[in-house]
Amino acid sequence: MDRILIESDARLWALTLALAMLAAWRVGWWMGGRLRAGGGEPPASKFNDASLALLSLLLAFTFGMSLAKHDHRRDMVIADSTAIGDFYTCVSLLKDPVRTKLQNVIREYANLRVEVASTESNETTLESALQRFERMHSQMTDLVAEALRDGTPIAVSLTNTLDGVTSNYIARLAAVKDRLPASILLLLFVSALVPALLEGRQQGAEARTDVTGTLCFILVVILSVYVTLDLNQPQRGLVTVSQEPMTRVLSSMTK
């Protein structure tokens, strides 16, 4: 379920939920009509109010979680670009040929970071990119070891900045894969259907149809759910994590 939510477009989920809410409202209206035809009393509105309050709480909760994860991914981009820039600056103090070799690897590494973050990817393409990152880490480690064998005077700074690159890579990857649990999103979808059903039943029992109010309610809910889902998919949709810090660092790497 988690994988389906991650790989499916947020617009598709929002459209599906909108149709489901309309269907739930229509079913509720039919139930209310049967209740009215049987001479029953209109249902109490307190259940409608309670379901709306619960839906509002869940929308606020899930939106806050998605926004916090989005902000964390943005912070990781800044930390990652800073670590790469520090490593490149430190490498610039080495002697050739190690300096040129390391600089080329770092530029290729930063380019790949921007490329992967700026394009939509599935599990297969992401795994392929991660393997390339691992190979570049090995190349950087081997070249740093070569510089240490040559007796570079900046051994401590060089190893520390290399550690910064690898540790920020791990932290950023964890931030990208940190998504809202599917169970929470499923609860949100169910909580959106219940008020639509109860409101339809209320209208059917009272022999009235408030199409404008119902559509406005569904629209507001769908937009809120869409933004929440969009924030939960960092590499697609309208809300993405800016790669501007990384591109700035990349542009500063002179050949």
pLDDT tens per residue across span 107-163: 999 999 988 887 776 677 778 888 999 999 999 999 999 999 888 888 899 999 999
Confirm if 238 and 70 have CB atoms less than 8 A apart: no
Distance CA 209, CA 233 (A): 37
Which of 245, 228, 250, 244 lies closest to 70 in space, CA to CA?
A: 228
What's the number of domains the chain is made of? 1
Q: How far is CA 223 from CA 4, 16, 17, 38, 232, in A?
A: 20, 13, 11, 37, 14
Tokens (6 digits) for 62: 């899930």
Asked if residue 218 has pLDDT above 90, the reply is yes
Q: What is the pTM of this model?
A: 0.82
* Of 31-35, 79-83, 159-163, the least confident: 31-35
What is the percent of the chain where pLDDT is above 70? Answer: 93
pLDDT value of residue 122: 67
Which of 63, 33, 26 lies closest to 215 in space, CA to CA?
A: 26
Task: Give the mean pLDDT of the chain.
Answer: 87
Q: Residue 211's pLDDT band (boundaries 50, 70, 90)? A: confident
Asked if residue 254 has pLDDT above 80, the reply is no
Q: Could you tell me the CATH number of the domain that includes residue 127?
A: 1.20.58
Q: Residue 7's pLDDT band (boundaries 50, 70, 90)? A: low
Q: Residue 6's pLDDT band (boundaries 50, 70, 90)? A: low
Asked if residue 86 has pLDDT above 90, the reply is yes
Domain housing 7: 2-251
Q: Residue 189's pLDDT band (boundaries 50, 70, 90)? A: very high
User: Which tops the pLDDT comparison, 82 or 234?
Assistant: 82
Number of Cβ within 10 Å of residue 141's Cβ equals 13
For 45-66, what is each residue's pLDDT tens digit? Answer: 778 888 889 999 999 999 999 9
pLDDT value of residue 150: 86
Number of Cβ within 10 Å of residue 180's Cβ equals 19
